[in-house]
Structure 1
Amino acid sequence: MYKNLAAVIAAACFLSPFFPLTATAAQPAQASASSGNKPVKAAFVYVTPVFEAGWTHQHDEGRKAVEQSLGNSVKTTVVENVAEGADSERVVRDLAQQGHDIIFTTSFGYMEPTLKVAKEFPNVKFESITGYKTDVNVAVANARYYEGRYLAGVAAGRLTKSNVAGYVAGFPIPEVLQGLNAFTLGMRSVNPQAQVKVVWLNAWFDPAKERDAAMTLFNQSVDVITFHTATNAVMVAAQERGKMAIAYHSDMRKVAPDAQLMAVMHEWGNYYTQRVQDVQSGQWRTGNASGGLKEGMIRVGDFGPKMSNSVRNEIQQIQKDIVMGKRQIFQGPIKDNEGKPVVAAGQALTPVQILNMNYLVEGVVGKVTP
Structure 2
Amino acid sequence: MALDDALMALKKRIAATALALLGCSLATQADEPYTDEPLKVGFVYVSPIGDAGWTYMHDQARQIVAEEFGDKIETSYVESVAEGSDSERVIRNLSARGHDLIFTTSFGYMNPTLKVARRFPNVKYEHATGYKTARNVGNYQARAYQGRYLAGMTAGAMSESGRIGYVAAFPIPEVIRGINAFTLGVQTTNPDARVSVVWINTWHDPAREREAADSLILQGADVLTMHSDSPAVIQAAEARNVYAVGFNSDMSHYGPNAHLTAVTMHWESIYHDKIQAVLDGNWESTAIWHGLKEGVVDLSPFNEVVPQEVVEKVTAYKMEIIEGTRQVFQGPLYNQAGEQVVAEGDALSDSDLLEQEWFVNGVDGKLNP
Same fold (TM > 0.5): yes
Is there any run of 5+ residues in structure 2 with no aligned partner, and where? 1-26
Query: Are 1:29 and 1:137, in contact at CA under 8 Å, matched by a contact in 2?
Result: no
SS in 2 for 1:217: helix
State the alpha-carbon separation in 2 of the partners of residues 180 and 367 from structure 1.
Answer: 12
Name the structure 1 match of 2:328.
Answer: 329
SS in 1 for 2:252: coil
Q: After TM superposition, give the deviation of residue 47 of structure 1 in Å.
A: 0.5
Code of the residue aligned with 2:81 in structure 1: it is V
RMSD across aligned C-alpha pairs, in angstroms? 1.3
Name the structure 2 match of 1:226.
Answer: 225
Matches for 1:221-370 after TM superposition, within 5 Å = 221-370=220-369
Q: Deviations over 1:55-113 (max 9, x none)?
A: 00000011011111101000001100000000000000000000000000000000000
State the alpha-carbon separation in 1 of the partners of residues 105 and 28 from structure 2.
Answer: 22
Moved more, 186-195 or 43-52: 186-195
Query: Are 1:32 and 1:101, in contact at CA under 8 Å, matched by a contact in 2?
Result: no
State the alpha-carbon separation in 1 of the partners of residues 368 and 123 from structure 2.
Answer: 37
SS in 2 for 1:88: helix
Name the structure 1 match of 2:199.
Answer: 200
Q: After TM superposition, give the deviation of residue 157 of structure 1 in Å.
A: 1.3
Code of the residue aligned with 1:278 in structure 2: it is A
Code of the residue aligned with 2:266 in structure 1: it is E
Q: Which runs of at least 4 in structure 1 moved beyond 3 Å after TM superposition?
A: 28-34
State the alpha-carbon separation in 2 of the partners of residues 270 and 230 from structure 1.
Answer: 22
Q: Deviations over 1:307-337 (max 9, x none)?
A: 2222111111110011011111000111111
Q: After TM superposition, give the deviation of residue 301 of structure 1 in Å.
A: 2.4
Q: After TM superposition, give the deviation of residue 30 of structure 1 in Å.
A: 6.7
Query: Are 2:206 and 2:230, in contact at CA under 8 Å, matched by a contact in 1?
Result: yes
Query: Are 1:127 and 1:141, in contact at CA under 8 Å, matched by a contact in 2?
Result: yes
State the alpha-carbon separation in 1 of the partners of residues 114 and 261 from structure 2.
Answer: 37
Q: Deviations over 1:134-154 (max 9, x none)?
A: 000000000000000000111
C-alpha distance 30-360 of structure 1, shift in aligned 2 (>3 A): farther
Code of the residue aligned with 1:44 in structure 2: it is F
State the alpha-carbon separation in 2 of the partners of residues 132 and 61 from structure 1.
Answer: 24
Name the structure 2 match of 1:23.
Answer: none
Structure with higher RCO (Cα < 8 A, 6+ apart): 1
Name the structure 1 match of 2:141.
Answer: 142
Query: Are 1:30 and 1:123, in contact at CA under 8 Å, matched by a contact in 2?
Result: no
Structure number with the higher helix fraction is: 2
State the alpha-carbon separation in 1 of the partners of residues 44 and 28 from structure 2.
Answer: 22
State the alpha-carbon separation in 2 of the partners of residues 304 and 30 from structure 1.
Answer: 52
SS in 1 for 2:114: helix
Query: Are 2:32 and 2:280, in contact at CA under 8 Å, matched by a contact in 1?
Result: no
Query: Are 2:262 and 2:300, in contact at CA under 8 Å, matched by a contact in 1?
Result: yes
Could you state the TM-score of these two structures normalised by the residue count of structure 1?
Answer: 0.91
Query: Are 2:166 and 2:196, in contact at CA under 8 Å, matched by a contact in 1?
Result: yes
Code of the residue aligned with 2:70 in structure 1: it is G
Query: Are 2:332 and 2:343, in contact at CA under 8 Å, matched by a contact in 1?
Result: yes
Q: Deviations over 1:199-236 (max 9, x none)?
A: 01111111111000000000111000100001100000
Q: Deviations over 1:233-292 (max 9, x none)?
A: 000000000110001011111111100000110100111011111111111100101100
C-alpha distance 215-50 of structure 1, shift in aligned 2 (>3 A): same
Q: After TM superposition, give the deviation of residue 339 of structure 1 in Å.
A: 1.6
SS in 2 for 1:254: helix
How many correspondences in the alignment?
Answer: 343
Code of the residue aligned with 1:230 in structure 2: it is D
Code of the residue aligned with 2:209 in structure 1: it is E
Name the structure 2 match of 1:9.
Answer: none
Code of the residue aligned with 2:75 in structure 1: it is T
Code of the residue aligned with 1:210 in structure 2: it is E
Name the structure 1 match of 2:209.
Answer: 210
Q: Deviations over 1:6-59 (max 9, x none)?
A: xxxxxxxxxxxxxxxxxxxxxx99734771122110000000111101000000
